[in-house]
Amino acid sequence: MFDSLLIICTGNICRSPTAERILRQLLPDKKIDSAGVKALVGYPADETALLTAQHYGVALDGHKGRQFTKQLGRQYDLILVMEKRHIESVTRMAPEVRGKTLLLGHWLQQKEIPDPYLQSQEAFNFVYQLIDRACQIWAIKLGG
């Protein structure tokens, strides 16, 4: 089935690392990683994202931004993205992975998860809660 998941956002320093760490807690037997379509390669998680996740009991320590590549996409059974434009970016880079690429918010009526980068703490809290809700549903669907 789906034993490996890759979570994608833009910079790979806010949304996708948060979803990655939440899903790792919920699905400890699966391989779960993250990347960005315009990643800040080597950068740690955004400070506000890190503090927000920490507030909810999720650690983003040790995260380093990673760029999505065609080769990376092929290594995973399921690719979950934050926005519809991420599906387009992933498909441009790796057309063969389109069939296994869905929105993280797929089970939330195809909801896109907005980028909180450089926004208020309230924006980060809102986005964290959306990501958490989406991850909880994915965990149930994937047998967690």
Amino acid symbol at 33: D
Containing domain of residue 21, as a range? 4-141
pLDDT for 143: 87
Q: What is the pTM of this model?
A: 0.97
Q: Quick one: which of 131, 88, 89 has its CA closest to 112? A: 131
Question: pLDDT digit string (tens) for 76-120?
Answer: 999 999 999 999 999 999 999 999 999 999 999 999 999 999 999
Instruction: Report the SS3 class of residue 33.
Output: strand
- pLDDT above 80 for 144: no
Question: pLDDT digit string (tens) for 20-61?
Answer: 999 999 999 999 999 999 999 999 999 999 999 999 999 999
What phi and psi, each to the nearest 5 degrees, are found at residue 80? -115, 130
Contact 17, 49 (CB under 8 A): yes
pLDDT for 117: 97
Contact 121, 141 (CB under 8 A): no
The CATH code of the domain that includes 62 is: 3.40.50.2300
Tell me how many domains the chain contains: 1
- pLDDT above 90 for 126: yes
The rounded distance, in Å, linking the Cα atoms of 134 and 91 is 22
Indicate if the alpha-carbon torsion angle 108, 86, 97, 26 is positive or negative: negative
Chain centroid offset of residue 77 CA: 14
Catalytic residues: 9, 15, 115
